[in-house]
Amino acid sequence: MGTENATETAGLAGERSKDGLGWMEWIRGWMAVIGEMMFQRIAASHLQNPLPLPPVNELTFVVTGSTSGIGLQIARQLAEAGAHVIMAVRNPKAAHDLIQKWQNEWSGMILPLNVEVMELDLLSLESVVRFAEAYNARLGPLHVLINNAGIFSIGEPQKFSKDGYEQHMQVNHLAPALLSVLLLPSLIRGSPSRIVNVNSVMHYVGFVDPEDMNVISGRKKYTSLLGYCGSKLAQVMFSSVLHKRLPAEAGISVLCVSPGVVYTNVARDLPRILQVGYRFIPYFIFDAQEGSRSTLFAATDPQVPEYCETLKADDWPVGAFISQDCRPTNPSEEAHNVETSYKVWEKTMELIGLPSDAVERLIEGNEVTCRYSMTD
């Protein structure tokens, strides 16, 4: 056993750290992306639209980015199915206007929709802490956190948040990671509960250098594609480690989901000509309601917790990933790199201002202090 360990360690030390995907990985990654684009409708042809939901009327859901696209559909369908929905948004006025519209269109029913709004700007880690503190202070349960909000600033130059982080990395990975950890006390109260991350097939062509999550070292030339795909892969890796660190008794499932290729405001930054093209390929592209199905499935299907526990019991290297057709699938080859996943975990915890044992401490019922908290 000792020799085995020594050989293993020597092997790791001898390995050069990777500075990108290998050619074959890259080709297979793009084949997955193109495959999803071309064949998602065929793969998902067994699904109804909208997806019928199991009973959710006793459950509370937080949905980030629910003023537009996939998140809007998720929030509305959950509310219409009787759930208590909290729209966690950066533009509360837009959310209130939407609720008004939904209530008016719902007026034939006996009970009004149970939807409320809380402000959350993922470009500010302080805003994330404020949101989590306010939610946890209610001392109520949270059954499902849906980390949906995301950006893809196609073709734009590299931008940083006021916290100093590359914006795709912050909005798509760091801020949702902080939110997930800080909301653990409420998720424990709601157990069995779930964290569902709206990820992307684009993570198959993503690469993360844990020592350069801001892409500033110059080892790789920054493009918005690199920023987006890297942030989505970082989320898959972080989720796999979070899933492993949560003991089965906590009853919290962690999943990533691909919504498919969906016509939403995410295309708002595309060049005009591409936006026109985007609109003319409806056969291939899902509408937002179709794109909400895999997330709603991950958030509500009764078999999901058991599936997540099986992966944990089998010591599978990655957490659950649900594809756009609501079937479990394997995330990318790079996502299976356990050593890098743990480095991404450590680096993420450092960047979001939490101690690396924050999850264990919160599970034991202790408090943790975040560097971005204003109350210290």
Residues making contact with ligand NAP (CB under 6 A) = 65, 67-71, 90-91, 120-123, 148-152, 171, 198, 200, 259, 261-262, 264-266
Gap between the Cα atoms of 144 and 149, Å rounded: 15
Nearest to 330 by CA among 343, 348, 344, 311: 311
- Least distance from C-beta 91 to ligand NAP, angstroms? 4
Token pair recorded at residue 133: 């503190």
CA–CA dist 267, 237 (Å, integer): 26
Q: Closest separation between CB of residue 232 and ligand NAP, Å? A: 7
Closer residue to ligand NAP, CB minimum distance, 149 or 174 = 149
Q: 60 or 147: whose CB is closer to ligand NAP?
A: 147
Q: Which residue has the tokens 């350069």?
A: 212
Question: Residue 33 or residue 250: which is nearer to ligand NAP going by CB?
Answer: 33
- State the nearest-atom distance from the C-beta of 363 to ligand NAP, in Å: 27
Closer residue to ligand NAP, CB minimum distance, 70 or 359:
70
C-alpha torsion sign, points 192, 196, 201, 203: negative
Place of tokens 């960047």: 351
**Considering beta carbons, is residue 291 or 353 the nearer one to ligand NAP?**
291
Cα 70 from chain centroid (whole Å): 13
Rounded to a whole number of angstroms, the minimum distance from the CB of residue 32 to ligand NAP is 13
The alpha carbon of residue 224 and the mean position of all alpha carbons in its chain are separated, in whole angstroms, by 18
The residue from 228, 263, 278, 283 that is catalytic is 228
* Cβ(143)–Cβ(298) below 8 Å: no
Bridge partners for 191 per DSSP: none
Q: Is 222 left (phi over 0), alpha (psi -120 to 50) or beta?
A: beta
- Burial track 301-317 (b if 16+ CB lie within 10 A, e otherwise): beebbebbeebbeeebe
Q: How many CB atoms lie within 10 A of CB 62?
A: 28
**Half-sphere exposure (Cβ direction) of 97: Cα atoms closer than 13 Å:** 6
Residue 169, amino acid:
M
Alpha carbon 352 to chain centroid distance? 16
CB of 374: closest distance to ligand NAP in angstroms? 18
Nearest distance, CB of residue 333 and ligand NAP, angstroms = 19
State the Cα–Cα distance between residues 106 and 62, nearest whole angstrom: 21
**Nearest CB to ligand NAP, comparing residues 262 and 362:** 262
Q: Is 228 a catalytic residue?
A: yes
Active site residues: 228
